[in-house]
Amino acid sequence: MPDLTKEFIKEKLEMINSQSYRVQRDADLKRFQIFNGNLYPAMKEAILEEFKKVETVEALCRRMVPINIIRKIVTKLAGLYVEAPIREASDDNESDQVMIDLIEDSASLNSRMKEANRYFKLWKRNLIEPFVDDFGMIRVRNLLKHCYEVFSHSSLSPEIPDTIVKILKCDPAEPTKCEYSFWTDQEFKIVNGNAEVLMDRMMAMNNPDGINPYGVLPFVYINEASYSVNPLPNDDLLRLATLIPILLSDLAFASKYQTWGIIFTIGYDGDLPVNPNSVISLPFGPDGEKPEIGTVKPEFSMDSALSYIQALIDFLLTTNNLSTNAIHGQLNAQSPASGIAKALDEAESTEDKKDQQDYFLNAEYELWDKLANNLLPTWKEQGALNPKFFKGFSDGFEITVILKEPRIFTSEKELIEIAKMKIDNELSTLRRELEVLYPSMTPEQIEKLEKEIDEAKAKKRKREIDLMVGSMKPFDQDEQNNDDMDMEDEEMNGREG
């Protein structure tokens, strides 16, 4: 376990402020900005790298198509908390269950864990920090990746951090104005960029000796990698999230010039009126040359470009464990942006959510264990906790967490077709399927609806029988009598013969 000596802190600050670490934090910040809808700066930066002419850059920027690929894909993949999980005291202790429910509500835990799931897919890691607000209420926040660094000094568990550094203020040009908080299991210090402890900050927290009052790191770190606390980032997601909207913007830019042809003249030097109703009279040349007016229409294959974009999205979805069947045929020259948006909406995650469950179940158990045994008792002792949480958890408290399978959205038409198929194949009953289709109805309402459906079916069958009977040829007695007389005549003729 490392000690927070000045030499140790200085070494870590040199790493944190090194070129490689700062470049990675800049990339992490860019991911966060794009994920939250701020795509324009990244697109403009990419355009400026390719084009130098101011007029071209401005024209391209006016025709940007900001389809947010990162947000769509991350939200699709991060679906563990779409359905609220079940959290129950393992021994059915009612007092513990009350505390679980209180903390869930106070911390808005399901919302924060949904956010944690998205950050995990965005950065392949996430750092959760429980804390107490000014009113003594228990809260949970997810730290942004560009605002912290984690370190491990273990050769046995290099993926588990033993030192966590929160970047509170950072200006490498003026180290004395920087602030960092260092955490280990045993120590806690707030320092500036010169590794000097800020004693005024420590005294304000009644902790001049820099002791970690919790005895554990008061964070929960979720890490996708098993080889390091710092998983390698996905370059494809960030690059293609910028490239695809730029390619769409290129199409929008090209379509502007594809619509209007270039007018040229031969044998005439002067301005031409370009109004649709203009009559243009051109003089012959001095030697009798016949003047000409022509147009050049730019040739640009919109469909070929869209096929290329479709292939890129196809690869991107596949590498991020999303099915790609929905995208084929979605892109067309009339509505490329809406086609891409629809394809991403319809893409479905495959095995990825199963892989995430282990990470987040472990995180849930670690969070509740630290709350029960380390954080709540310390907050209560410090007088920071609201009285409603004073009771705390029982000795030996354990929690059971069940992450529900996210439901795939199904239209009402599809639900009805599935219900009909089950009933027709005698795999279910009308009442059971009505309960699925109308979950908000009471048993009495379901029974009434079932009766109305049966009555409607009976009336329909009666109408069908009436129509069938009505369509049959009426019985004609006269025709029957004539048939009988013809048969008698044939018999008489036979006897006479």
Backbone angles phi, psi at 223, to 5 degrees: -130, 130
pLDDT score of 362:
96
| 425/453 same-domain check | yes
| 104/174 same-domain check | yes
| 134/105 same-domain check | yes
Confidence class of residue 481 from pLDDT cuts 50, 70 and 90? low
Residue 327 structure tokens:
């995208």
Residue 497 structure tokens:
């013969």
The Cα 252–Cα 465 span in angstroms is: 62
For residues 460 and 453, the answer to whether their CB atoms sit within 8 Å is no
User: Does an H or E element contain 167, and which?
Assistant: strand 163-169
Distance between first and last Cα of the chain: 129
Distances in Å between the alpha carbon of 288 and those of 199, 264, 265, 268, 283?
95, 20, 16, 12, 9
pLDDT score of 493:
56
Bridge partners of residue 130, in order along the sequence: 140
| 109/179 same-domain check | yes
Summarised one tens digit per residue, pLDDT across range 419-429 is 888 888 888 89
**Region 386-397 average pLDDT:** 94
The answer to the question of residue 488 being in a domain is no
Task: Show Cβ contacts of residue 454 under 8 Å, excluding neighbours closer than 6 positions.
Answer: none
The answer to the question of residue 478 being in a domain is no
Angle at 476 between CA 473 and CA 479, to 5 degrees: 120
The Cα 155–Cα 135 span in angstroms is: 42
Final residue before a domain boundary, out of 381, 402, 423: 402
Q: Using the Cα atoms of residue 80, residue 360, residue 123 and residue 116 in order, give the sign of their dihedral.
A: positive
| 261/215 same-domain check | no
User: Does an H or E element contain 123, and which?
Assistant: helix 109-123
Looking at beta carbons, which pairs linking 93-97 to residues 24 or more positions away fall under 8 Å?
Answer: 93/394, 93/397, 95/391, 95/394, 96/393, 96/394, 96/397, 96/399
The Cα 489–Cα 497 span in angstroms is: 12
Confidence class of residue 255 from pLDDT cuts 50, 70 and 90? low
The answer to the question of residue 63 being in a domain is no
| 242/370 same-domain check | no
Final residue before a domain boundary, out of 328, 346, 364: 346
pTM of whole model > 0.75?
Answer: no
The answer to the question of residue 489 being in a domain is no
The answer to the question of residue 424 being in a domain is yes
| 102/206 same-domain check | yes
Final residue before a domain boundary, out of 304, 319, 346: 346
The answer to the question of residue 494 being in a domain is no
| 325/375 same-domain check | no
The one-character DSSP state at 374 is I
Backbone angles phi, psi at 166, to 5 degrees: -95, 130
The Cα 6–Cα 10 span in angstroms is: 6
Summarised one tens digit per residue, pLDDT across range 130-151 is 999 999 999 999 999 999 999 9
Task: Show Cβ contacts of residue 98 under 8 Å, excluding neighbours closer than 6 positions.
Answer: none
| 138/206 same-domain check | yes
Residue 477 structure tokens:
């007695």
| 226/242 same-domain check | no
| 123/267 same-domain check | no
Domains identified in the chain, total number: 3
Residue 173 structure tokens:
């040009």
The Cα 134–Cα 139 span in angstroms is: 10
Confidence class of residue 327 from pLDDT cuts 50, 70 and 90? very low
The answer to the question of residue 200 being in a domain is yes
The answer to the question of residue 441 being in a domain is yes
Residue 166 structure tokens:
């929160």
| 155/226 same-domain check | yes
Residue-range definition of the domain harbouring residue 435: 412-470
